[in-house]
Structure 1
């Protein structure tokens, strides 16, 4: 009898753990922090050999949970160093989101299927380095519509 109960509990645990859950990217409290003074998004132009970060998704205002997909591109035969990736929510003070995003980081980018964020606009900076030590950075705004 005890064995059946244990097996039932284990099976129930396995079934419930298989359900996909959204990952909290930015909390309500973090969203309430004031924006930094003078912060602007940047767009790098020109010929640079450092790696590039491109926002694939979301491309516009979407509701949460959202798909956060970034593409990394390196040049001159260098590879992206996944351990160098830093994701920062630009607020005062800044919030390091790297640990929350780490499970979704690969050498070619970030693919986070269900990122949970409260409604609002959030400026995010992503810093990367390639195998030659060259840095790359991108800043962008995530626009989250009310549900």
Structure 2
């Protein structure tokens, strides 16, 4: 029995290195009503989250990177990082990204998702409990 399970894992492991961030079923969920990506401006003491964009459009798998920056001597709390796919209902992506979270940011070399446009929100807190967040769009097109 164990050998057959190992054989199945080996047989389907062609994409084992890639991280499935959004599934086909989740991609088909309706978008939230009235949701827009907002860019917050002003003087904030909370941590900054920067989306290191792969470009206007990208192919899957893509390299997903976020940079975290804390201020005033505080440190980023990696356990506080949460990622949400904004849909109806929202999809918590946090368990899928946890292995890739560092105090300096998020780095997933091979992120797989079906073609589509996805609004994602990332929330983080620093060691003083101050929140920071970012919302961004990912446009994934079919591979040529």
TM-score of Structure 1 vs Structure 2, range by shorter chain: 0.7 to 0.9
List runs of 5+ in structure 1 lacking aligned partners: 1-12
State the alpha-carbon separation in 1 of the partners of residues 85 and 54 from structure 2.
Answer: 16
Measure how far apart 1:57 and its partner are. Answer: 3.2
Q: What is the aligned partner in structure 2 of residue 138 from structure 1?
A: 134
Counterpart secondary structure, 1:70: strand
Q: What is the aligned partner in structure 2 of residue 90 from structure 1?
A: 86
Cα RMSD, aligned residues only: 1.8
State the alpha-carbon separation in 2 of the partners of residues 85 and 59 from structure 1.
Answer: 23
Q: Does 1:41 align with 2:34?
A: no
Measure how far apart 1:60 and its partner are. Answer: 2.2
Aligned residues: 133
Q: What is the aligned partner in structure 2 of residue 50 from structure 1?
A: 46
Measure how far apart 1:145 and its partner are. Answer: 1.1
List runs of 5+ in structure 2 lacking aligned partners: 1-8
Check whether the contact 1:51–1:129 (CA below 8 A) recurs between aligned residues: yes
Check whether the contact 1:57–1:67 (CA below 8 A) recurs between aligned residues: no
**TM-score, scaled to structure 2:** 0.87
Within-5 A mapping of 1:19-30? 21-30=17-26
Q: What is the aligned partner in structure 2 of residue 126 from structure 1?
A: 122
User: Which digits, 9 at most, give the CA deviation of each residue in 1:45-74, with x for residues without a partner?
Assistant: 111000011011323211000000000011
Counterpart secondary structure, 1:58: coil
User: Which digits, 9 at most, give the CA deviation of each residue in 1:65-123, with x for residues without a partner?
Assistant: 00000000111010000000000000000000000000000001000000000001000
State the alpha-carbon separation in 2 of the partners of residues 46 and 99 from structure 1.
Answer: 31
- Among 71, 81, 90, the residue aligned to 2:77: 81
Runs of 4+, deviation exceeding 4 Å: none
State the alpha-carbon separation in 2 of the partners of residues 95 and 123 from structure 1.
Answer: 11
Measure how far apart 1:20 and its partner are. Answer: 6.2
Q: What is the aligned partner in structure 1 of residue 6 from structure 2?
A: none
State the alpha-carbon separation in 2 of the partners of residues 45 and 78 from structure 1.
Answer: 21
